[in-house]
Chain A
Amino acid sequence: MSIDAVQQLVALLREAKAVPRLRANAVGPSSIYDPLYRTVIIGLALRLCGKKATESEVTLAGPRLKLFQFVAVHRHLLPSLRGWVTAHETGRRPNLEEWTSFPRGYVADSLYERIVTYLVATGELRPEGKNLVGSLDARCLLGRLVVAVDANSAFEGERSTLIELSQTRITLGMLGA
């Protein structure tokens, strides 16, 4: 866009006696950086991709959780992930481009780290080796959030992505863990 485009638009608005308005509340950061939204996705990932640990707890390997929740909020990465998994299944080692095309963003996802630290500190999650164990009981935060999501039929896209991921064979070895 040339530097004059804005000035030209302003000149035309002035001529038309139009008054521009800005709704500041509509310029907020994307919800993918909203800690509560990401907490919800972590809860959904645990429920949809985790395994039952005890009567009320589910467990999921930390590297998988980090990967799954990232792809759930960046669904356009799913085709890249599928390609990467297929390459592993067919025994063809993915080349550098395919390898780095996917995990760079997920590795650098520091918001996930901060949220998990918070959830561990508040007792919502418990590390057990490489796994994270959490309760989805309605008395816990994660449980309440997941129940609320279900009640509102919210995050359909994220949920369908997580369901697909739960059926995709991604080993810890593939993630280098």
Chain B
Amino acid sequence: MAIGAFPGAGAMAAPGGITTRANRPFQVDRGSASFLGYGVWPKGSDHDRCGEALRRPLVPAQFAASRAAPPTDDRAPKEGGLSPRGEYARKLGLLTGDAFEAEVVTAFQQTLSGFQRVPDKPHGDGGLDGISHGFTHAYCCYGLELQPAPGTLTAALRKKIVRKFKDDLLRLFELKRVRGAMKDCENTVLPKVLGLPKITTKFKVIRLIANVFEDNQLIGDLRTAFEMFRKASKRRFIAADCELTIWGPVDVANNTAVSEQFLLRVEHPALFDVLRIVTAAVDTHEPADQDKFNAKFDDLASRLPLARAAGIESLRATFKRAWSRSILLNERLSGTLPNLHQQVEGARARAATDALIASSKANSDPLDLLEKSREGLRQQLVELVKGGLPPDVRDDLADAETGRLIGECPLDWRSVS
């Protein structure tokens, strides 16, 4: 590191945005930035300085290691002997709370075309997290938050899970306990979810899904409660022959279409949150200072016949959207996953340099520069997250960064005055 005067100090100040060396501020979205974190601390984080709350792993290591045995699967093992399904089950079992519920729901959404997520607003979810099979299968999830021993003893875990699922079942059966007896208790949310009274479909299967399912006594405990509730209930939402099944992470893995993206989601939940937030925000985002960007496309339009105008405008919109996506991605990544963002920044610089070198070679077509830049970005981004980026996510990032090259100053085609 050079010591002394720092380069471009004056130029770096960019009020309203993150300062950059070339005075190219990221546009900063001052709207609500809600990063849904899933409690997976990146390697190398400074636990010493972060204190007890941050130092405490969400899952006690000793306990976590013993959980979620790999399911049987005939697909080829990924590495270390675990198949992709086994790896997914293991990682899924490490998620807790809302993160576990969100992942299970997403996994089913990507597997069952008719899977319906049940949001918990405005007045709760009525005991349901999802519905499928023409509203006849109900899903309740529970990502048990794990505490240090003795809370991690098998019996203690089972009791917690039974307590949670009994509460869900009581709501589905419209019951409440009063001094040991069962009393009717109307569920005001479910009729709105199910479309009652016009639609009277009843649940034929109730699936309870927990992040911990190793103790077979859990089945008996919940089945006992289920039968007791069934007898006491008027069963407004539940069919007389309704079945109860209890699933753990292994069952979810074995019954969903596990893909690379599934694995990446559970390994890097924060990255997927960033991508999701950016996708939602890109439609309303406008990059700051679009003068140079517009000047490039105006220049192109002035050189071509009027018949090309529509095509140029379409490209202008496409690249502006990609540029917006890049700005938002960089903002979110830098604030949420700075180490990954640093890698993306490095990948972008290397790709640009490679493209420049390739296009500078004799007999090379200068017009190859654009495609070489994008290809270079794709190749560089392959290395991110230990090579775990699915091709569509990688290409999405590469396209966004290509848009940034055009949106900002580095790539130009206007005549040099």
Would B356 and A24 count as touching, CB distance under 8 A?
yes
Most interface-central of B18, B53, B331, B335 (chain A CB within 10 A): B335
Q: How far is the CB of B7 from chain A (nearest CB, A)?
A: 8
Q: How far is the CB of B326 from chain A (nearest CB, A)?
A: 10
Shortest Cβ distance from A115 into B: residue: B1
Query: A16-B303, A29-B345, A35-B1 given as contacts; is B335 within 8 A of A107 (CB)?
Result: no
Chain B positions 33-87 with a Cβ under 8 Å from a chain A Cβ = 33-39, 41-42, 44-46, 49-55
Q: Is A17 an interface residue (CB 8 A)?
A: yes
Q: Is B114 an interface residue (CB 8 A)?
A: no
Would B29 and A96 count as touching, CB distance under 8 A?
no
Q: Is A136 an interface residue (CB 8 A)?
A: no
Would B50 and A157 count as touching, CB distance under 8 A?
no
Q: Is B10 an interface residue (CB 8 A)?
A: yes
**Binding site secondary structure of chain A:** helix
Q: How far is the CB of A14 from chain B (nearest CB, A)?
A: 6
Would A31 and B2 count as touching, CB distance under 8 A?
no
0/1 interface trace, chain B 1-25, chain A, CB 8 Å (1 if under): 1111110011011111111111010
Chain A positions 1-22 with a Cβ under 8 Å from a chain B Cβ = 1-3, 5-10, 12-22
Binding site for B on A (CB under 8 A): 1-3, 5-10, 12-24, 26-37, 39-40, 62-63, 66, 70, 73-77, 79-80, 96-97, 99-105, 107-111, 113, 118, 141, 144-145, 148-149, 152-158, 172, 175-177
What 7 new A-B contacts, CB under 8 Å, besides A18-B299, A63-B50, A105-B337? Answer: A22-B355, A27-B348, A31-B21, A63-B49, A108-B337, A110-B338, A152-B10
A sample of 23 cross-chain residue pairs with beta-carbon separation below 8 angstroms, ordered by A number, consists of A5-B315, A10-B367, A15-B304, A19-B366, A20-B367, A20-B369, A24-B410, A27-B405, A31-B12, A31-B21, A37-B6, A63-B50, A103-B54, A107-B42, A107-B54, A108-B338, A110-B339, A113-B46, A145-B6, A153-B10, A157-B13, A172-B51, A176-B51
